[in-house]
Amino acid sequence: RNRQHQLEMQQLCETFPLFSQVDENSQEELLLLFRPKSASPGERVLRKGDRPDGLYFIASGAVEVELADDNVRLDAGAFFGEMALLSGGRRTADVIAVDFCAFLVLERRDFNVFMSRHPALRKAVSNMARERAEMNVSR
């Protein structure tokens, strides 16, 4: 692999800590599965109650998760949309873009296949979902 490509992968790992959880070949695979998506400030990216379409990684920009009492801001490097994918239920909150955003989306079917092949990654994503759910009940 060329140097340029190596640098790109290294940069992805730096931006997305989750990315470093999988081996190099799987990183390549993941990169091919990602679908680019963008949003403008004020745009609703996820709607509470919807069926989940995928897992969103924030490549640039920021979003706000609208919770009962206040909003949680997520910046570049964070991911969202994992809760409904893991539970098999509906989106638990509205997510609004608060800036021009670029996302990398792992679509539901690809998420399911990739996660079943990468238990460590699944665990990391599940842990985040659990932490967030706990945070939301204690609010």
Could you say whether residue 95 binds ligand CMP (CB under 6 A)?
yes
Closest CA to 123 of 51, 4, 40, 22: 22
Could you say whether residue 122 binds ligand CMP (CB under 6 A)?
no
Q: Which two tokens stand for residue 104?
A: 């990398």
Rounded distance, CA 28 to CA 46, Å?
A: 27
Rounded distance, CA 81 to CA 90, Å?
A: 10
Q: For residues 16 and 80, which CB has a smaller minimum distance to ligand CMP in the complex? A: 80
Could you say whether residue 84 binds ligand CMP (CB under 6 A)?
yes
Minimum Å gap between C-beta 103 and ligand CMP is: 12
Rounded distance, CA 92 to CA 128, Å?
A: 14
Q: Which of 30, 52, 57, 110 binds ligand CMP (CB under 6 A)?
A: 52
Q: Which residues bind ligand CMP (CB under 6 A)?
A: 46, 52, 65, 72, 80-84, 91-93, 95, 132, 135-136
